């Protein structure tokens, strides 16, 4: 080897070399190791110098990874200790200067073979990921009806890249309609309907055959000025309905809170009827039968609950088109109308009642237990030839005040004991389809495909298992 004496060394070079020098006692040994301190120069030199590496004593090789490990956060601590223990430090004073070519040659001799070997030793091969899905408490039920979820599938919605996301609630502002035109907003609706096909397919693969259609499927379709007929999308809607029928998949709707049939303001009632007509047209164009219900709440009480109930009754009897009335269902809410408030009206008009456990928990019906309400409600469904359906959700853990308890929990931890064996149950939980799969596992209702559980949660568990620290990835929002 040529004698390296012609270049001066940087302070960094000196600092790094101290470790190497502490390891060896001869100048020649130092020269062999020092090049690891500078940037690797790839190319022919690396191959050329492969022949030199066998001459490096084993004791020297053991010391090299020590420096590598020191500069690599998160490297294996045990290996570091092993390396340190095998190389007795002996500090030297001033290192000799070396020229650039010698540095490159020596570096190549070291980088061509030893560093990769040492890296492999330091970082043990990662084991195959083990996805551990926490088990659920096993429970028993005689219930064998369908469980469904509302509007959004968290797995499909959170697909990446974002262009792959599947969902049915693309919407916009009125300003965008003014700017882009009606055809533009109609195209949003077409995309939403298109994605329904994938949603139903996903549900079928996962044994879910009950779902609520997003009310935002056709943005502003019921708007007084910017509204539009859905006939432009008739063939695609028919395709969705046919697919749902093929799988025995029930589709329902839940028009928004502003649908107030008992409002004292005529404009509000008219807008509410338009909203119901829009939902009805969507279901009709899908070719969905009487099970495709439209659920609304009683709305506000406007200072006089009895008078408002009379207005609701009048609107249903006199103002709703027959197609709308045939699909109409009322639901108890957590603030204004409990089940006891609505049952007399529902019974009189033969309008089915959807009983919501969560709302009843906050705004109960005195003297009327859930089982009794459901029994009465299901009788109305049966009389109308509609498959009964009810709603289930739970308040968030630790919720105390009414406002806190109104928020839905991510999942349901049990099915009510008093459920009839066969009816449809909409799970109104934040985790959407995951909440359904959770109950499937808990009660062994259907097999669950683990690879379709959210990857963010799997990743988190995997990281904890392998590295002892959670993934930085944010938990999937639902």
> Closest CB to Zn ion among 186 and 391?
391
Q: Considering Cα of 215, then 219, then 223, then 228, what sign does the dihedral take?
A: negative
Residue 360 lies near Zn ion (rule: CB under 5 A): no
Residue 212 lies near Zn ion (rule: CB under 5 A): no
How far apart CA 46 and CA 141 sit, in angstroms, is 69
Taking the complex as a whole, how short is the minimal distance between the CB of residue 356 and Zn ion, in angstroms?
A: 4
Neighbouring residues of 232: CB distance < 8 A, sequence distance ≥ 6: 186, 190
The window from 48-56, 190-198, 274-282, 383-391 that contacts Zn ion (CB under 5 A) reads 383-391
How far apart CA 84 and CA 471 sit, in angstroms, is 31
The window from 73-81, 209-217, 218-226, 348-356 that contacts Zn ion (CB under 5 A) reads 348-356
> Closest CB to Zn ion among 118 and 391?
391
Cis peptide before 246 (omega within 30 of 0): no
> Closest CB to Zn ion among 285 and 380?
380
> Closest CB to Zn ion among 106 and 356?
356
How far apart CA 423 and CA 146 sit, in angstroms, is 7
The window from 269-277, 297-305, 386-394, 397-405 that contacts Zn ion (CB under 5 A) reads 386-394
How far apart CA 243 and CA 237 sit, in angstroms, is 10
Q: Give the contact letters, 225-264, x = binds to Zn ion (CB under 5 A), - = no.
A: ----------------------------------------
Residue 411 lies near Zn ion (rule: CB under 5 A): no
C-alpha triplet 335, 410, 352: angle, nearest 5°:
45
C-alpha triplet 288, 290, 292: angle, nearest 5°:
55
Beta-ladder partners of 331: 297, 354
Residue 424 lies near Zn ion (rule: CB under 5 A): no
> Closest CB to Zn ion among 157 and 391?
391
- What are the DSSP calls for 66-124, one per residue? HHHHHTSTT--HHHHHHHHHHS-----SPPPP--HHHHHHHHHHHHTTHHHHHHHHHSP
Residue 333 lies near Zn ion (rule: CB under 5 A): no
> Closest CB to Zn ion among 49 and 356?
356
Residue 391 lies near Zn ion (rule: CB under 5 A): yes
Residue 334 lies near Zn ion (rule: CB under 5 A): no
Taking the complex as a whole, how short is the minimal distance between the CB of residue 252 and Zn ion, in angstroms?
A: 11
Residue 356 lies near Zn ion (rule: CB under 5 A): yes
Cα 27 to chain centroid, rounded: 61
How far apart CA 93 and CA 84 sit, in angstroms, is 20
Neighbouring residues of 16: CB distance < 8 A, sequence distance ≥ 6: 37, 67
Taking the complex as a whole, how short is the minimal distance between the CB of residue 215 and Zn ion, in angstroms?
A: 13
> Closest CB to Zn ion among 52 and 406?
406
Taking the complex as a whole, how short is the minimal distance between the CB of residue 473 and Zn ion, in angstroms?
A: 31
> Closest CB to Zn ion among 391 and 411?
391
Residue 441 lies near Zn ion (rule: CB under 5 A): no
Residue 408 lies near Zn ion (rule: CB under 5 A): no
DSSP state, residue 460: H
Taking the complex as a whole, how short is the minimal distance between the CB of residue 449 and Zn ion, in angstroms?
A: 27
Residue 36 lies near Zn ion (rule: CB under 5 A): no
Indicate the SS3 state at residue 337.
coil
Instruction: Report the interface residues with Zn ion, using CB under 5 A.
Output: 356, 391
């Amino acid at each position: 080897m040529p004698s390296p004496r012609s270049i001066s060394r940087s302070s960094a070079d000196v600092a790094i070399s101290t470790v190497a020098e502490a390891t060896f006692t001869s100048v020649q040994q130092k020269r062999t190791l020092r090049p690891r301190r500078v940037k690797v120069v790839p190319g022919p030199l690396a191959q050329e110098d492969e022949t030199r590496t066998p001459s490096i004593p084993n004791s020297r090789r053991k010391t090299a990874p020590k420096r590598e490990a020191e500069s690599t956060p998160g490297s294996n601590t045990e290996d570091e200790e092993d390396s340190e223990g095998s190389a007795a430090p002996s500090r030297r004073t001033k290192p000799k200067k070396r020229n650039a070519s010698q540095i490159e040659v020596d570096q190549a001799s070291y980088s061509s073979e030893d560093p990769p070997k040492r890296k492999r030793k330091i970082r043990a091969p990662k084991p195959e990921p083990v996805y551990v899905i926490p088990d659920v408490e096993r429970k028993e039920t005689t219930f064998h009806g369908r469980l469904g979820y509302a509007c959004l599938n968290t797995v499909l919605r959170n697909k990446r890249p974002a262009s792959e996301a599947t969902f049915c609630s693309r919407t916009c502002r009125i300003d965008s309609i003014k700017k882009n035109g009606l055809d533009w907003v109609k195209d949003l609706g077409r995309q939403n309907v298109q994605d329904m096909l994938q949603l139903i397919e996903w549900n079928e693969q996962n044994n879910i055959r009950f779902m609520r259609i997003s009310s935002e499927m056709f943005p502003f379709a019921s708007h007084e000025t910017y509204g539009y007929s859905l006939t432009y999308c008739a063939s695609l809607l028919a395709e969705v309905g046919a697919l749902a029928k093929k799988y025995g998949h029930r589709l329902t709707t839940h028009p928004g809170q502003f649908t107030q049939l008992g409002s004292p303001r005529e404009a509000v009632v008219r807008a509410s009827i338009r909203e119901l007509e829009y939902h009805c047209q969507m279901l009709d164009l899908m070719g969905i039968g009487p099970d495709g219900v439209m659920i609304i709440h009683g709305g506000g009480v406007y200072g006089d609950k009895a008078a408002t109930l009379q207005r609701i009754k009048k609107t249903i009897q006199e103002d709703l088109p027959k197609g709308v009335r045939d699909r109409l269902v009322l639901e108890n809410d957590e603030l204004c109308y409990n089940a006891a408030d609505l049952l007399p009206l529902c019974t009189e008009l033969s309008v089915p009642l959807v009983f919501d456990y969560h709302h009843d928990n906050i705004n109960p019906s005195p003297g009327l237990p859930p089982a009794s309400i459901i029994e009465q409600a299901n009788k109305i469904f049966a009389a109308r030839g509609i498959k009964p359906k009810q709603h289930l959700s739970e308040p968030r853990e630790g919720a105390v005040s009414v406002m806190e308890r109104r928020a839905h929990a991510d999942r349901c931890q049990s099915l009510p004991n008093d459920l009839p064996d066969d009816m449809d149950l909409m799970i109104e939980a934040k985790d959407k389809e995951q909440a359904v799969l959770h109950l499937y596992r808990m009660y062994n209702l259907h097999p669950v495909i683990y690879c379709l559980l959210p990857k963010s949660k799997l990743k988190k568990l995997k990281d904890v298992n392998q590295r002892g620290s959670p993934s930085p990835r944010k938990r999937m929002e639902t």
